[in-house]
Amino acid sequence: MNILIVGSGGREHSLAWKIKQSPLVKKIYVAPGNGGTAAIGENILIDSNDIPGILKLARDKKIDLVVVGPELPLVLGLADALDRENIPCFGPSSYAAQLEGSKAFSKFLMTEAEVPTADFKVFEDFNQAQEYLKKQNYPLVVKADGLAAGKGVIVSSSLEEALEAVHDMMVKQVFGKSGEVVVIEKNLVGEEASFLAFCDGHDFILLPSSQDHKRVGDNDTGPNTGGMGAYSPAPVLPEENYQETAEMVIRPIIQHLEEMDRPFKGILYAGLMFTKDGPMVLEYNVRFGDPECQPLLMRIESDIVELMMACVEGRLAGLRISIRPESAVCVVLAADGYPKQYQKGRVISGIEDAEEDPLVKVFQAGTRLENGKILTNGGRVLGVTALGVNLKDAIDRCYAAADKVNFEDRYLRRDIGRKGLNR
């Protein structure tokens, strides 16, 4: 099979690494890819959001399966465009992708499907949102309706903070059109986990639990990022609770969309908060998380291409997934200053030293290859990922490897996985 992976981050490097292990695969293309994917397949410099460009590439290279990493191409209708050309795509339709593309759509769908989630109100008018906020108790969460690269969610501890958040989104439009509509919801308290499933429109296969670390600083301080590290499994969601949790947060959505004749095919990702009243859905994503993808793929033993094709062709029923028993941890090495201003073009060294441990893999994210050297090319630069016999072993192994990798202005959190150890 010829496979095209769409995207350029650490998630896409890990997908390319895992897909290459399948005996079904002949050639891998990545659009646009990064310094890591260049060593696995052929990078093609087409923007991941260029739907006509991706479509032409898929036709020209006789692609047998397109695997979409990021959310925006799915929201823009890449899967629909490929479907019209009879090119298999692992990823949902633009309608189903609104689960991530529109917070309001997602919340209304959760209500219809009776999925547990925080109480909420949706506003298109700034003055109405202001008046509502003046009558509420705090804290509250203000969310930009559309995609905002993981940064459009503000937890407001006071009326002043909430008014500022709504003003920034709706009037100043700091997130562009994404903030024209806002969702205001009750703040949930507890510990978070990510719960992902392969879906074929009717059936699903669960992946192990994982936990992301969104804040830039240790002890969950500082601004939100795309994710500074992740680990799997997450003790807050143990394996014996997977099926019960899935019946609350995965099956109702899959079933509801199927009944609407809008079947969901691909990865459904439930971002959960474990409250005193049980698990509640914070949000849905319609693709692998980044960086949760990296530790999850390190643990999957099954042929991922076979699983993806089964999703596309609606034949997951009866299939099983084989998962390694070890824990896995990913620590992101970022450019100092991320998620705000940071420098690019720093030379990276030590990746080969880190990978001397057979249980370690360094996935490249914000990198580019230039004259045989790997240079930094983004805020989140690398995702050092390690397996271990237990969570502590995986954490120790991961940080030992991370400390062998260097570039100027390197920054990393030192507490990835600590919540899991505390449990």
* Residue 149 scores a pLDDT above 90: no
Q: Does domain 125-180 have CATH number 3.40.190.10?
A: no
> How much is the pLDDT for 95?
98
Reported confidence tier of residue 367, pLDDT bands at 50, 70, 90: very high
Q: What percent of the chain has pLDDT over 90?
A: 97
* Residue 3 scores a pLDDT above 80: yes
Q: Which CATH architecture has domain 2-95?
A: 3-Layer(aba) Sandwich (3.40)
Cβ atoms within 10 Å, residue 97: 29
Tokens of 304: 């991922």
The separation between the first and the last C-alpha atoms of the chain, rounded to the nearest angstrom, is 44
Q: What is the mean pLDDT of the chain?
A: 97
Reported confidence tier of residue 148, pLDDT bands at 50, 70, 90: confident
Query: Rounded to 5, what percent of the chain is helix, strand, coil?
Result: 30, 30, 40
Reported confidence tier of residue 146, pLDDT bands at 50, 70, 90: very high
Answering whether pTM is above 0.75, one says yes
Contact 11, 69 (CB under 8 A): yes
Q: Where are the domains of the chain?
A: 2-95, 125-180, 191-313, 327-422
Model confidence pLDDT, tens digit, residues 392-409: 999 999 999 999 999 999
For residue 269, what is the enclosing H or E element? strand 265-275
Model confidence pLDDT, tens digit, residues 277-324: 999 999 999 999 999 999 999 999 999 999 999 999 999 998 999 999
Q: Which CATH superfamily is domain 327-422 in?
A: Phosphoribosylglycinamide synthetase, C-terminal domain (3.90.600.10)
CA 181 to chain CA centroid, nearest Å:
23
* DSSP code string of 351-420: HHHHTTSTTEEEEESSEEEETTEEEE-SSEEEEEEEEESSHHHHHHHHHHHHTT-B-TTEE--S-TTHHH
Distance separating alpha carbons of residues 272 and 118, to the nearest angstrom: 11
> How much is the pLDDT for 423?
84
Cis peptide before 73 (omega within 30 of 0): no
Please state the rounded mean pLDDT for residues 234-257. Answer: 98
Reported confidence tier of residue 21, pLDDT bands at 50, 70, 90: very high
CATH tag, 191-313 = 3.30.470.20
* DSSP code string of 289-353: -TTTHHHHHHHB-S-HHHHHHHHHHT--TT----B-SSEEEEEEEEETTTTSS----PBPB-HHH
Contact 50, 63 (CB under 8 A): no
CA atoms within 13 A on the CB side of 405: 33
Distance separating alpha carbons of residues 22 and 359, to the nearest angstrom: 19
Please state the rounded mean pLDDT for residues 178-192. Answer: 96
Q: At what angle do helices 159-170 and 126-133 cross, to 10 degrees?
A: 170
Cis peptide before 295 (omega within 30 of 0): no
